[in-house]
Amino acid sequence: CIYDFMLARAIPRILQDIPDDHLRILDIGGGPTIYQHIPLLGIADSIVHAEYLDANRREIQNWKSGQSTFSWASYVEYCQEYFRSNASRFSIATPEVQQRLETLSHQSAPSVENDLRARITQIIPVNAFDSDLGIPQNLNLDVVNVSREGSIELMTSNFCIESATVDF
């Protein structure tokens, strides 16, 4: 369902509303996963993976450094197949995004993962209960004033808000 939503609905809508192909993306509550970032490779120049739990941030850092034991290859391949068989859905994209998606859909899964590793520029702590998300000021991530240098153009969050509670 998440891929159908991201690939069939969200990405085409994002491309309609924000045709820029060099987006700085903040993913809030990403957990120990990268599946949510794969569909964004066509439009993201950088992805900030923000996560509350230290163990989840460590897993992403392990994956980024090639130390994780989990394989994301099947997810990468699913995305690639989707991009190949649904290229017409992305015809509203800029030529650069279309080229990125075309390249992405024909690379090897390890090459796609390496591209994603390069685009995940920061792995940071976040707290959905803090008004500023608990993002340290020294990271220069402006999540409020999008016209300022260092601003985030797109924020994503999957399964975070509905699972963030003060009670266990």
The pLDDT tens digits of the residues spanning 41-63 come to 888 889 999 999 999 999 999 99
Two tokens, residue 111: 């090459």
Calpha distance 161→119 (Å, rounded): 24
Q: Is residue 90 within 8 Å of residue 102, measured between CB atoms?
A: no
Neighbours of 152 (CB within 10 A): 17
Which pLDDT value is given to residue 141?
A: 66
Which pLDDT value is given to residue 20?
A: 62
Mean model confidence pLDDT for the chain:
82
Two tokens, residue 136: 């340290």
Which residue type, as a one-letter code, is found at position 36?
Answer: Q
Two tokens, residue 48: 């900030």
Which pLDDT value is given to residue 145?
A: 53
Over residues 132-167, the pLDDT tens digits come to 777 777 666 655 555 555 577 778 888 776 666 666
pTM score > 0.95 for this model?
no
Among candidate residues 34, 48, 33, the one with its CA nearest the CA of residue 155 = 48
Which pLDDT value is given to residue 88?
A: 80
Tell me the sheet residues that pair with 51: 125
pLDDT at 168 over 90: no
Tell me what the mean pLDDT of segment 121-137 comes to: 83
Contacts of 165 (CB under 8 A, 6+ apart): none
Q: Is 5 left (phi over 0), alpha (psi -120 to 50) or beta?
A: alpha
Calpha distance 93→150 (Å, rounded): 24
Calpha distance 56→11 (Å, rounded): 25
